[in-house]
Amino acid sequence: MTTNQELLLLHKDCRKCKSCELSKTRNNVVVAKGNSKAKILIIGEGPGEQEDITGFPFVGRAGKMLDSALMSVEIDPLEDCYITNIVKCRPPKNRKPLLNEINSCMPWLTKQINLLSPKIIILAGSTSVEAFLEIKKPISKMRGEWIIKDNIKIMPIFHPSYLLRSPSKEPGKPKWLTWQDLKKVKAAFDNL
Ligand code: SF4
């Protein structure tokens, strides 16, 4: 079986998951979108309303923001990236996922990473940094600096939904900082 087939099988299995309480309120399990051979893995927090309805991550306003941020540094969101979340089912009213929900869902992410073998991981927002790296620090203190784990270069960035609330592109503002962070990702991607 090819890696692509294994990943598709994982998607199928994950869509049936009932390992935590979020299975009771979701409409769809939101597993991933993008290229199963991508070298860049993007991990957000969890699905929102539009994602829950469509079954795909980052399709709402925050998703469009992420796409345009990636495209501004010539990274193709669907061709160069595989995009997922820490939890695959929408937390009610978009609350933060609980620790037990994160822990229940983490094996899916681990399997995705094992199959994908990404060279670069972008962690979008503090929840994904905290859950994935087990580091509890404000995202403003973490973003923009590479972290190396298991030979993977990891770049924390602001969550795109935060950028929606902070639209200024002036130097030093979150959008401009995210652009700097993604330029670093693009340089590392070009060097792979
Ligand atoms: S959030 Fe994750 S662990 Fe919980 S039901 Fe959905 S897929 Fe399963």
Question: Could you give the domains of the chain?
Answer: 3-190 (3.40.470.10)
- Tell me the average pLDDT of the chain: 96
Q: What is the pLDDT of residues 94-128, one digit of tens each?
A: 999 999 999 999 999 999 999 999 999 999 999 99
Spacing, Cα 48 to ligand 1 middle (Å): 14
Name the band, by pLDDT with cuts 50, 70 and 90, for residue 88. Answer: very high
Kindly report the backbone phi and psi dihedral angles of residue 21, in degrees, each rounded to the nearest multiple of 5, phi listed first: -65, -20
Instruction: State residue 125's pLDDT score.
Output: 96
Instruction: State residue 133's pLDDT score.
Output: 96
Q: If you average pLDDT over residues 145-169, what whole number do you get?
A: 95
CB 163 within 8 A of CB 155: no
Ligand 1 site residues, Cβ closer than 6 angstroms:
14, 17-20, 22-23, 29, 87-89, 101, 104-105, 108
Q: If you average pLDDT over residues 134-141, what whole number do you get?
A: 93
Name the band, by pLDDT with cuts 50, 70 and 90, for residue 1. Answer: confident
The pTM (predicted TM-score) of the whole model is 0.97
Query: Is the pLDDT confidence value at 2 over 90?
Result: no
Percent of the chain with pLDDT over 90: 97
Instruction: State residue 4's pLDDT score.
Output: 87
Q: Could you tell which of 86, 87, 90, 100 is best to mutate to test the pocket of ligand 1, judged by most ligand atoms within 8 Å of the CB? A: 87
Query: Is the pLDDT confidence value at 138 over 90?
Result: yes
Query: Is the pLDDT confidence value at 82 over 90?
Result: yes
Instruction: State residue 178's pLDDT score.
Output: 98
Q: If you average pLDDT over residues 156-164, what whole number do you get?
A: 96
Angle between helices 3-14 and 99-116 (to 10 degrees): 160
Name the strand (E) or helix (H) holding 108.
helix 99-116
Q: Which residues lie across from 81 on neighbouring strands?
A: 40
Residue nearest to atom 4 of ligand 1 (CA): 20
Spacing, Cα 128 to ligand 1 middle (Å): 15
Cα 61 to Cα 65: distance, rounded to the nearest angstrom: 6
Looking from the CA of residue 104, the nearest atom of ligand 1 is 3
Cα 180 to Cα 192: distance, rounded to the nearest angstrom: 19
